[in-house]
């Protein structure tokens, strides 16, 4: 794929590297590529970051035909820039696209677009400890058409955002509200995709939990509100009686996280038993009560690992690991971030240098 490049003549001021937060700052350039029926994907270009021009009848604005991804680039101590498993995100965006009738994007285009954009904006990859460059690829249906239909025109876009340490004072256990009114996904739905509509539909529950002082919701299955799906925008894992259990993916209601998969692989190399299966809220509640629930944590690109210190189950607050960070939780966080920031040898072949 040939990418034409137009560099900005008006670079943005440097951000405040100490106080980046998450998603507040974007870089100087963006990648865009068009799709039209018959021509396929074409006109790959890197141009100065700026607003898009869209027809108000564009399908994405009415029917939410959009999918996205999220991954990061990490600045190593010896000045390299590493991506973490970008091919996994390339595969996943196509799985999401397929569900929304969006045409497939060749995986090598996805990875090349990211590599070349990150390279052009490499000075935007922050160097302070635990900071990184968040990469947000997305595909939108741009065809102007008010009828509900499979679109004939799309844009694939990549933007970048330098982000701060997720936990300013190190790993921090969070309080989780078990949501038993709203649901996130159902069998046969779009739960396994990263499509914008899923997150729009999750906002009301997220806002409700925030107002009550919880940082995330724990989603139950949409049909019976009995099985555990995810926490917020993370996958969830529980250490019960020495075994790490995580909800299985087969129902299609759960987002198949790259972090989830990486944690499972690490645990397997360490010889720690893991199990992917359905797990009921009742089982979790029981385990918490008879002290076999040893640790609980969320997994996702943004926070990597998010220890769970407390669960509100039907109004009852239940401490996990005495509200502390579990030992294994900390070990997983350290191991994964050591690989991501290139502090240890990448024996699993997960990092890709830019
Ligand atoms: C992105 C996401 C995850 C985590 O996926 P990673 O690839 O690990 O970042 C989990 N659940 C939901 C709903 C998500 O959107």
CA of 320 to the centre of ligand 1 (A): 22
pLDDT score at 166: 78
The answer to whether the predicted template modeling score (pTM) of the entire model surpasses 0.95 is yes
- Residue 168: the pLDDT is 66
Going from the Cα of 301 to the center of ligand 1, the distance in angstroms, rounded, reads 7
pLDDT value for 48: 98
- Cα of 230 vs centre of ligand 1, distance in Å, is 9
Residue of 269, 227, 266, 217 lying closest to 248 (CA atoms):
227
Looking from the CA of residue 194, the nearest atom of ligand 1 is 15
| pLDDT value at residue 79 | 95
Q: Is 255 in the pocket of ligand 1 (CB under 6 A)?
A: yes
Residue to mutate, 301, 306, 350, ligand 1, most ligand atoms under 8 Å from C-beta: 301
Q: What is the pLDDT of residue 19?
A: 92
Q: Using one digit for the tens of pLDDT, what is the confidence trace for 226-267?
A: 999 999 999 999 999 999 999 999 899 999 999 999 999 999
> For ligand 1, what atom is nearest to the CA of residue 184?
13
Ligand 1 center–CA 9 separation, angstroms? 36
pLDDT (0 to 100) of residue 167: 72
Does residue 230 have its Cβ closer than 6 Å to ligand 1? yes
Closest CA to 146 of 63, 227, 203, 217: 63
Q: Does the Cβ of 235 fall within 6 Å of ligand 1? A: yes
Q: Is any ligand 1 atom within 6 A of the Cβ of residue 260?
A: yes
Cβ–ligand 1 contact at 301 (below 6 Å): yes
Q: Which residues of the chain have pLDDT under 70?
A: 168-169
């Amino acid at each position: 794929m040939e990418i034409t490049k137009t560099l900005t003549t008006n670079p943005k001021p440097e951000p405040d590297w100490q106080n980046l937060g998450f998603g507040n700052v974007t870089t100087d350039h963006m990648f865009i590529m068009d799709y039209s029926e018959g021509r396929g994907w074409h006109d790959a270009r890197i141009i100065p970051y700026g607003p898009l021009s869209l027809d108000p009848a564009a399908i994405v604005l009415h029917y939410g035909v959009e999918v996205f991804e999220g991954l990061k680039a990490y600045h190593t101590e010896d000045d390299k820039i590493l991506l973490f498993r970008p091919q996994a995100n390339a595969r996943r965006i196509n799985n999401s696209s397929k569900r929304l009738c969006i045409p497939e994007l060749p995986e090598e285009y996805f990875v090349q677009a990211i590599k070349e954009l990150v390279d052009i904006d490499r000075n935007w990859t922050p160097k302070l400890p635990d900071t990184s460059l968040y990469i947000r690829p997305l595909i939108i249906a741009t065809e102007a058409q008010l009828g509900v239909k499979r679109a004939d025109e799309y844009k694939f876009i990549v933007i970048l955002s330098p982000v701060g340490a997720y936990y300013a004072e190190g790993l921090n256990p969070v309080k989780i509200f078990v949501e038993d009114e709203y649901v996130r996904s159902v069998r046969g739905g779009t739960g396994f995709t990263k499509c914008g509509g899923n997150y729009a539909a999750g906002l009301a529950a997220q806002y409700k939990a925030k107002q009550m002082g919880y940082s995330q919701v724990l989603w139950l299955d949409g049909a019976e509100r009995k099985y555990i799906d995810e926490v917020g925008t993370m996958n969830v894992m529980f250490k019960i009686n020495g075994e790490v259990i995580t909800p299985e993916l087969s129902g299609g209601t759960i987002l198949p996280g790259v972090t989830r998969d990486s944690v499972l692989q690490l645990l397997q190399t360490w010889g720690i038993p893991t199990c992917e299966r359905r797990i009921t809220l009742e089982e979790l509640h029981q385990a918490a009560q008879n002290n076999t629930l040893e640790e609980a944590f969320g997994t996702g690109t943004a926070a990597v690992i998010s220890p769970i210190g407390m669960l509100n189950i039907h109004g009852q607050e239940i401490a996990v690991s005495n509200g502390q960070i579990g030992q294994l939780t900390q070990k997983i966080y350290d191991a994964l971030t050591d690989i991501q920031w290139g502090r240890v040898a990448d024996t699993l072949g997960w990092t890709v240098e830019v």
